[in-house]
Amino acid sequence: MSTSSLPEQDVLNDLREIAQQLRVDSVRCSAAASSGHPTSSMSAADLMAVLLARYLRYDFGDPKAPGNDHLIFSKGHASPLLYAMLRAAGAIGEEELLSYRTVGSRLEGHPTPRLPWVDVATGSLGQGLPVGVGVAMAGKTLDRLPYRVWVLCGDSELAEGSIWEAAEQAGYSRLDNLTVIADINRLGQRGPTRHGWDTRAYAARFRAFGWHALEVDGHDIAAIDRALGEAERHDGAPTVILARTRKGRGVAAVEDQEGKHGKPVPSADEAVSELGGVRDIRVRVTTPPPMPPAQRAKPAGTWRPPGYEPGSMAATRTAFGQALAALGDARPDVVVLDGEVSDSTRTGFFADRHPNRFFEFYIAEQQMIAAAVGMQVRGWVPFAATFAAFFTRAQDFIRMAAVSRASIRLCGSHAGVSIGQDGPSQMGLEDLAAMRAIFGSTVLCPCDANQAAWLTGVMADLPGVSYLRTSRGDTPVIYQPGERFTVGGSRVLRSAPDDQVTLVAAGVTVHEAMAAADLLAEDGVSARVIDAYSVKPVDAATLRAAARETGRLVVVEDHWPEGGLGDAVLSAVAAGGAPLPTVRKLAVRSMPASAAPEEQLQLAGIDTASIATAAAELVAGHGA
Amino acid sequence: MSTSSLPEQDVLNDLREIAQQLRVDSVRCSAAASSGHPTSSMSAADLMAVLLARYLRYDFGDPKAPGNDHLIFSKGHASPLLYAMLRAAGAIGEEELLSYRTVGSRLEGHPTPRLPWVDVATGSLGQGLPVGVGVAMAGKTLDRLPYRVWVLCGDSELAEGSIWEAAEQAGYSRLDNLTVIADINRLGQRGPTRHGWDTRAYAARFRAFGWHALEVDGHDIAAIDRALGEAERHDGAPTVILARTRKGRGVAAVEDQEGKHGKPVPSADEAVSELGGVRDIRVRVTTPPPMPPAQRAKPAGTWRPPGYEPGSMAATRTAFGQALAALGDARPDVVVLDGEVSDSTRTGFFADRHPNRFFEFYIAEQQMIAAAVGMQVRGWVPFAATFAAFFTRAQDFIRMAAVSRASIRLCGSHAGVSIGQDGPSQMGLEDLAAMRAIFGSTVLCPCDANQAAWLTGVMADLPGVSYLRTSRGDTPVIYQPGERFTVGGSRVLRSAPDDQVTLVAAGVTVHEAMAAADLLAEDGVSARVIDAYSVKPVDAATLRAAARETGRLVVVEDHWPEGGLGDAVLSAVAAGGAPLPTVRKLAVRSMPASAAPEEQLQLAGIDTASIATAAAELVAGHGA
């Protein structure tokens, strides 16, 4: 329970005992596992003891309760401390605590949401705080509920730029529902941190970004209590509590010593004795007052994607943006995030229609993705957009979103050389490879506006990380308005019983492939054309049938040759078990420069003429 | 030339004229191209005019002169301004200026080192400053030469976390040879920036990170001159000049207006008239004093990799670290960068032996990669290391390094599920996919210590981005000390005329594949085993021969199924043109948790038994 008066002496003693229990349990579980990070846990034990016993409002019996606070261990390697807190709160028992890091245990080396009390996976440093910023933004502006967000940070991770993206976002947004508890134990993995115990250096940085900063002795229970109370009361800015601590605190064999990171404490039994022995204190954590789930607006009708006239021209990015705006009418849970390029990605259509559910992150892609993850923790359905190329800036956050079992939807515009004159820095040429290699992801690459619009709606209900690749330029509309496209599907755009080769394409190359099939027909070659808009999962059955029936595949993509559509198609036909067809991959194989879009396709060898030539050569048996 | 006295009135007028010429040429070249960013150029024209005429020391006739300053356009979209400066300096002519953004022109939409006066490609915002920090670090501690580094930043990019990683690194390292000129024109791509013209907000942030910060009117030539002079004189800290400017300055139709980003100025002829017409001023840029190239230590002997006894056990990461330390003896140009995990990546061996060529970046992977790029600008041979998983944090920097034609060497340790208990946040499971999809990259995955050591030496001479994947645990040493391995090669470890299947592996899975071949032999199945240590380029000839001769391939990798070795092998055999063999890909297909290394391989289905079963099924014709 929160209070502004100082705790009595016996309360302080109780808190010290809880802290010692957290240390003992950290030592015990990592000793049982013969691995883990007990010393990084022991430094923060006093901080977490006071938080758990006096400030956190959380119903461990109902982790989805709308009023629960959120506690995020940004220093995920301090997982023994988190698990010790769970035991102290009665959420897990002794046996589970000691299952730490074993096969089948929910108590992984770094926390994941396999535990219902864990919002997101951490362990890649510098991510927990930006995610916490997303949760706090949801609390302030979407849920409008009084829960608080507490983030435990390590000092080493304060070197990550993502921390300062978060500091900027939180300071500017005046997120006074957010408190960072920074465990300044001065020792990183391989030795001293840059700033050691210089909490003033950190305080100056946070204050410059608009934060309320407090410096305390992280082993002084009363001082910690005062700081947490002040953080809770402080209005108009997030608070960071910079706590000077000693790594391995309480066990002389490891306390404040180098070379003790990420390994069990030697002589665990002696360490436990030194810490006063095993305890079985049960902390009665304050539950939040009952409150209804966050109110959402009523849907304004059912979802109908915008329609585009077949034969007209439209950019898939525009269709995405217009579909998203329409989706926002039907789905009050949809929120949109952008990185200062909403005029390019076309999320601006959504921003205009639903300004309260649109979030501008300026050019801070890591914070943008982290906030999307944080908002989906609270049940929102985030779409985040930037140029396809610039998602690489947040690749580690997307990777970790998959470990978090987070459902986030990404749209990358300006994919491929077909953007034209801006040159390679702006071209997404590795996005399909990067997004395919995210666990459980869905990767979609529409070629026309109706397809893009429909798939945008499909994404709203997809679990995991999904990605839509859109193009900058206008492409012909070839599908009907409202035509349905499924994840894992494809469209056979052209097919005949005597097809001698199959052209597989996605996005802009579909139109080049169709034109190539026309050219080939003039030369007496019958070509099948498949629009493989679902790159992951790819339509293996249709591709295998085409491989079997035509014996030859040409796969053409506006992407590097590695890891994209070509590799997806090869992998799918290989998994069929039958001997494989002859396959030729057309892709971007030299570094592009500036040129007009049609020149770019030609220079990259992925235009109509190149496809026709490759297919004709394959049919003539000239190798691949 | 640098001076502390204020310029006379006629000098000020000359500088104004130069600035107007830069504006006019920015307008002209983007009008000719019908695209580009003239307004973002015009805001910074006064700043660059004063820099070019009075502070930059640069021999445009000898861009590799050791004493040349470095000018980096972190706001790469202001390329028209850079190209206008090149014309003013006499480096390019009128005709080339007007070739901007056309096919074949060196004047790309965003600058690249195709121009000899450009160090690195920019255009992904927030990268030029961290690269400049790397160049400045080289100047201070490696070259020990008095050149200066000038970085032109935009205001939008100051939202990127990478900027604050750079601010921390430069402030802490007291890089007083570095000056940031920040063009605070208050307008981003889609509208106002977060802080508008509030240069105080930016100054507070930079000062907190230890910088000297100046706020000036960016259109007041005398004020700019004073600020640049002060930056040059200021000792002990880097300087940022925060210049309040107006986007599109000088042309009323666009000046300080929204919606004018990234497009030519309307009515270019009128704009040129408004700016006073076309000029042909030639700026005599001060050349640096002649100076010898940076002195390097004498090599201590020739390169000999450390040797490991066949039959013993050793980790490839350890071999990498020991080889790197030995390489440092023979190669005084080798420098090593790490992200506070040198005890894990084993670059600590180098740090101990060559402390003056080792750079600790703490946990700031973006700055680490950017500094590697900056140091290679100055001719150094950087190796940068962290966990394989955490290179995803810097993926956009690695992508841009390729556009920069930079030669950097990366080593990712702790690859795959075989790291064991730490769990998925620490496992590099997408690194092969990510690194393969970098243009011109080399991707190596050694399975034993002698191979890792040899390949470390090979990397020193590789152009482009090269990547070495190392393992955490010990693996059997199977090759001889000093055995040579080439990029694009492989090792056929087991082969017989009657082989019925080929097992293709790399890294830890090589040993599983060898054991599987033993198991298969017991069941009368003859299996070939290929160590495909060179994942890109992969040894296509050997793989195709194996495919032809054995008809069946099992590819096994400690990586997600997408984009890694399996896809590389499929792509190589497919490119052979012949009908393909039956292929089965074994890879990590479910989200790992904590488990012992051997348990992880088993759970992922990439251990000995799984490989043997898959191969036996293929041979028995049970599909894939």
- Tell me the mean pLDDT in the region A339-368: 98
User: For the segment A176-215, what is each residue's pLDDT rounded down to a tens digit?
Assistant: 999 999 999 999 999 999 999 999 999 999 999 999 999 9
3-state secondary structure B112-131: CCCCCCCCCCCCCCCCHHHH
Give the nearest chain B residue to A562 (CA atoms). B437
Give the nearest chain A residue to B108 (CA atoms). A594
- How many Å apart are CA A568 and CA A534, to the nearest integer? 10
Burial class of residue A64, CB neighbours in 10 A (0-12, 13-18, 19+):
exposed
Q: Which amino acid is at A407?
A: S
Looking at per-residue pLDDT, the higher value among B217 and B7 belongs to: B217
- Pair of tokens at residue A307: 């329609």
Cross-chain Cβ contact B593/A125 below 8 Å: no
B209: Cβ contacts below 8 Å, ≥ 6 apart:
A205, B164, B167, B168, B170, B171
- Is pLDDT above 80 for A6? no
- Pair of tokens at residue B613: 């079963």
The alpha carbon of residue A302 is apart from the nearest alpha carbon of chain B, in Å, by 30
- Tell me the mean pLDDT in the region B249-254: 98
pLDDT at A295: 78
Poorest-confidence range of A306-310, A578-582, B215-219, B399-403? A578-582
Determine which of B399, B405, B501 to mutate to test the interface with A (most A C-beta atoms within 10 Å): B399
- Pair of tokens at residue B594: 């904590």
Please tell me which of the candidates A104, A163, A208 has its beta carbon nearest to residue B204.
A208
Cross-chain Cβ contact A562/B204 below 8 Å: no
User: For the segment A317-347, what is each residue's pLDDT rounded down to a tens digit?
Assistant: 999 999 999 999 999 999 999 999 999 999 9
pLDDT at B3: 46
Block residue for tokens 């003693």: A13
Peptide bond into B537 cis (omega under 30): yes
User: For the segment A384-407, what is each residue's pLDDT rounded down to a tens digit?
Assistant: 999 999 999 999 999 999 999 999
- Pair of tokens at residue A219: 């082993």
What number of residues does chain B have?
624
In chain B, which residues have their Cβ closer than 8 Å to the Cβ of A561? 571
Please tell me which of the candidates A114, A124, A161 has its beta carbon nearest to residue B162.
A161
Cross-chain Cβ contact B393/A395 below 8 Å: yes
Indicate if A365 belongs to the active site.
yes
- Is pLDDT above 90 for A581? no
- Tell me the mean pLDDT in the region A268-277: 98
pLDDT at B571: 94
* CA–CA distances in Å: residue A572 to residues A462, A488, B319, B584: 22, 12, 37, 10
Please enumerate, as own/partner, the contacts of B207-210 that have beta carbons within 8 Å and a separation of 24 or more. B207/A208, B208/A204, B208/A205, B208/A207, B208/A208, B209/A205, B209/B164, B209/B167, B209/B168, B209/B170, B209/B171, B210/B171, B210/B172, B210/B174, B210/B237
Nearest CA-CA partner of B555 in B579, B536, B535: B535
Q: How many CA atoms lie within 13 A of A49 on its CB side?
A: 31
Cross-chain Cβ contact A437/B341 below 8 Å: no
Please tell me which of the candidates A341, A348, A434 has its beta carbon nearest to residue B437.
A434
pLDDT at B575: 80
In chain B, which residues have their Cβ closer than 8 Å to the Cβ of A436? 433, 562-563
- Is pLDDT above 50 for B609? yes
Q: Which amino acid is at A164?
A: W
Peptide bond into A290 cis (omega under 30): no
In chain B, which residues have their Cβ closer than 8 Å to the Cβ of A399? 389, 392, 430
Provide φ and ψ at A408, rounded to 5°: -135, 150
In chain B, which residues have their Cβ closer than 8 Å to the Cβ of A563? 433, 436-437, 562-563, 567
Cross-chain Cβ contact A433/B562 below 8 Å: yes
pLDDT at A526: 98
Strand order in the sheet with A527-531: A491-494, A527-531, A501-505, A552-556, A582-586
- Is pLDDT above 70 for B16? yes
Give the nearest chain A residue to B211 (CA atoms). A205
Strand, coil or helix: B202: helix
For helices A508-522 and A608-619, give the axis angle rounded to 10 degrees: 50
The alpha carbon of residue A27 is apart from the nearest alpha carbon of chain B, in Å, by 16
- How many Å apart are CA A504 and CA A510, to the nearest integer? 8
pLDDT band at B579 (very low <50, low <70, confident <90, very high): low
Give the nearest chain B residue to A109 (CA atoms). B422
A334: Cβ contacts below 8 Å, ≥ 6 apart:
A324, A327, A328, A354, A357, A380, A381, A382, A383, A460
User: For the segment A223-240, what is each residue's pLDDT rounded down to a tens digit?
Assistant: 999 999 999 999 999 999
Give the nearest chain B residue to A578 (CA atoms). B582
Are the beta carbons of A79 and B391 closer than 8 angstroms?
no
Residue A130 pairs in a beta bridge with: none
Q: How many CA atoms lie within 13 A of B57 on its CB side?
A: 20
Indicate if the alpha-carbon torsion angle A435, A439, A441, A445 is positive or negative.
Answer: positive
In chain B, which residues have their Cβ closer than 8 Å to the Cβ of A121? 424-425
3-state secondary structure A77-103: HHHHHHHHHHHHCCCCCHHHHCCCCCC
Strand, coil or helix: A212: strand
Which residues of B are known catalytic residues?
A: 365
Poorest-confidence range of A418-427, B175-184, B296-305? B296-305
Cross-chain Cβ contact A624/B162 below 8 Å: no
Are the beta carbons of B410 and B391 closer than 8 angstroms?
yes
Name the region of B530 (left: φ>0; alpha: ψ -120 to 50; beta: rest): beta
Give the nearest chain B residue to A564 (CA atoms). B563
User: For the segment A287-322, what is each residue's pLDDT rounded down to a tens digit?
Assistant: 999 888 877 878 878 899 999 999 999 999 999 999
Indicate if the alpha-carbon torsion angle B306, B310, B311, B316 is positive or negative.
Answer: positive
Q: How many CA atoms lie within 13 A of A540 on its CB side?
A: 14
Determine which of B79, B115, B190, B366 to mutate to test the interface with A (most A C-beta atoms within 10 Å): B190
- Is pLDDT above 80 for A622? no
Sequential DSSP letters for A216-273: EETT-HHHHHHHHHHHHH--SS-EEEEEE--TTTT-TTTTT-TT-TTSPPSSHHHHHH
In chain B, which residues have their Cβ closer than 8 Å to the Cβ of A207? 208
Determine which of B72, B82, B125, B160 to mutate to test the interface with A (most A C-beta atoms within 10 Å): B160
pLDDT at B83: 98
pLDDT band at A3 (very low <50, low <70, confident <90, very high): very low
B284: Cβ contacts below 8 Å, ≥ 6 apart:
none
- Is pLDDT above 70 for A583? yes
Count the neighbouring beta carbons within 10 Å of the beta carbon of residue A294.
Answer: 16
pLDDT at A576: 73
pLDDT band at B5 (very low <50, low <70, confident <90, very high): low
In chain B, which residues have their Cβ closer than 8 Å to the Cβ of A437? 429-430, 433-434, 560, 562-564
Instruction: Say what the ipTM of the complex is.
Output: 0.97
Are the beta carbons of A468 and A444 closer than 8 angstroms?
yes
- How many Å apart are CA A44 and CA A48, to the nearest integer? 6
- How many Cβ pairs closer than 8 A exist between chain A and B? 349
* CA–CA distances in Å: residue B153 to residues A193, A261, B72, B203: 29, 39, 9, 14
User: For the segment B337-361, what is each residue's pLDDT rounded down to a tens digit?
Assistant: 999 999 999 999 999 999 999 999 9
E-assigned strands of B69-219?
70-73, 149-154, 178-184, 212-217
Cross-chain Cβ contact A430/B423 below 8 Å: no
Count the neighbouring beta carbons within 10 Å of the beta carbon of residue A317.
Answer: 27
- Tell me the mean pLDDT in the region B41-56: 98
Please tell me which of the candidates A101, A563, A591 has its beta carbon nearest to residue B439.
A591
pLDDT band at B528 (very low <50, low <70, confident <90, very high): very high
Task: Give me chain A's average pLDDT, please.
Answer: 96
In chain A, which residues have their Cβ closer than 8 Å to the Cβ of B208? 204-205, 207-208
- Pair of tokens at residue A424: 């390679």
pLDDT at A4: 47
- Tell me the mean pLDDT in the region B579-584: 80
Please tell me which of the candidates A161, A591, A603 has its beta carbon nearest to residue B366.
A161
pLDDT at B577: 66
The alpha carbon of residue B151 is apart from the nearest alpha carbon of chain A, in Å, by 18
Cross-chain Cβ contact B584/A571 below 8 Å: no
Cross-chain Cβ contact A114/B593 below 8 Å: yes
A214: Cβ contacts below 8 Å, ≥ 6 apart:
A203, A227, A230, A231, A239, A240, A241, A242
pLDDT at A299: 83
Please tell me which of the candidates A108, A425, A579 has its beta carbon nearest to residue B121.
A425
The alpha helices in A404-473, defined as continuous H runs, are 431-436, 449-459
Please tell me which of the candidates A35, A122, A426 has its beta carbon nearest to residue B123.
A426
pLDDT at A577: 67
Strand, coil or helix: A285: coil
Cross-chain Cβ contact A581/B580 below 8 Å: yes
Cross-chain Cβ contact A160/B161 below 8 Å: yes
Burial class of residue A277, CB neighbours in 10 A (0-12, 13-18, 19+):
exposed
Cross-chain Cβ contact B421/A596 below 8 Å: no
Cross-chain Cβ contact A190/B340 below 8 Å: yes
The alpha carbon of residue A413 is apart from the nearest alpha carbon of chain B, in Å, by 15
- How many Å apart are CA A487 and CA A196, to the nearest integer? 51
User: For the segment A55-104, what is each residue's pLDDT rounded down to a tens digit?
Assistant: 999 999 999 999 999 999 999 999 999 999 999 999 999 999 999 999 99
Determine which of A110, A125, A160, A342 to mutate to test the interface with B (most B C-beta atoms within 10 Å): A160
**Which member of A157, A165, A365, A430 is catalytic?**
A365
The helix/strand count (H/E) of chain B reads as 22, 19
Strand, coil or helix: B378: coil
Cross-chain Cβ contact B424/A433 below 8 Å: no
Cross-chain Cβ contact A103/B567 below 8 Å: no
Cross-chain Cβ contact B124/A390 below 8 Å: yes
In chain A, which residues have their Cβ closer than 8 Å to the Cβ of B362? 156, 159, 188, 193-194
Please tell me which of the candidates A110, A207, A424 has its beta carbon nearest to residue B423.
A110
- Tell me the mean pLDDT in the region B530-555: 96
Give the nearest chain A residue to B552 (CA atoms). A579
In chain A, which residues have their Cβ closer than 8 Å to the Cβ of B202? none
